[in-house]
Amino acid sequence: MKTAIFGTKKWEEEYLRLKLSKVTLELTFLDGTLSSESIPAETHFEILCVFVDSSLKRETLEKFQNLKMIATRSTGFDHIDLAYCKEKNITVSSVPSYGENTVAEFAFALILSLARKLYASVDSIRETGKYSFEGLIGFDLKGKTIGVVGVGRIGRHLIKMAKGFDMKVIGYDAFPNQETAKELGFEYRSFEDLLKESDVVSIHVPFMKETEKMFNEKTFALMKKGAILINTARGAVVETQALVKALQEGRLGGAGLDVLEEEGVLKDDMGFVLSGKVEGHDVRTIIANHVLIDMQNVLITPHTAFNTTEAIQRILDTTAENISGFLEGTPINIPK
């Protein structure tokens, strides 16, 4: 089957070629992402393999009339028009588990960086040449309360780490598991109570209708004054303009964000401006992202929480299994 694989590095290409060597595929590796603005000249592919930074909406997928399968190298699949795929009988496979510890470790790196002003400390020496801790006072994590929103695989890893720092842990989950709570030594709260009690709130929920903008002006108003927000989940779980307001008003003490709404535009600001295509984009959110970037108490990283050699290998292993399973007539890891 003719297969297009988008956005892989050279070593990833070699790794996938080896993993897929036992099945019959005509592989084409293409640079960059796939979206309505970046349709390749060749569109007769039967399998598309993409990462989460591609946008496979109806207008894009309609260009691939022979398409039978999409293999996304991500846990999330909100970048794919599942309704269209169901309508056209296109199989979609994802990677449900690859980096529980990987993402949790990165979330904790953001927590530590904000609590101890690590970026500000390094930047102060580099920019001023002054070896001084003036203005760099932080706070201990020991004894603080961390609220984990979404106690799934990643959330559970984060809880274990927080326990190692002698933090009090509370959690919120749409489907609370009391056995997990007992095993890990934490208590569940309602979402509202978690916000009121937490010094640090870390988001680990998938993006779906129920979680879209669950952090908004109303919920930020419930948070403990000076609390820190960490988001390594999905940008659209947080309403960007409300976050800016909460930070500017001092409701929040800081934020560590590995994901943003409209983060695709940040990758190519100039291309967005020159294209003149604003349909489907929220310009106010794009401007708010730049406001966040300039805030001293905000750390923004480029959707890199997943980005370790080990995690990427696990992603590629599962992706190869997904494609092989489809070719054998037994597709696996189908989004529910």
Q: Quote the radius of gyration of the chain (alpha carbons, Å).
A: 21
- Considering Cα of 58, then 61, then 65, then 66, what sign does the dihedral take? negative
Q: Which of 263, 204, 269 is nearest to 237 (CA)?
A: 204
3 state DSSP class of 251 = coil
- Considering Cα of 311, then 231, then 227, then 288, what sign does the dihedral take? positive
Q: Which residues of 116-141 are buried (b: 16+ CB within 10 A; e: fewer)?
A: bbbebbeebeeeeeeeeeeeeeeeeb
Cα distances from 25 to residues 22, 29, 34, 239, in angstroms, run 9, 12, 20, 42
Q: Which residue has the tokens 């036992």?
A: 22
Q: Is 114 exposed, middle or buried (0-12, 13-18, 19+ CB in 10 A)?
A: buried
Q: How many CB atoms lie within 10 A of CB 87?
A: 11
For the chain, the straight-line distance linking the first and the last C-alpha, in angstroms and rounded, comes to 25
Cα distances from 109 to residues 103, 186, 228, in angstroms, run 10, 21, 13
Q: What is the DSSP letter of 235?
A: G
Catalytically annotated residues: 234, 263, 303
- Considering Cα of 200, then 204, then 206, then 210, what sign does the dihedral take? negative
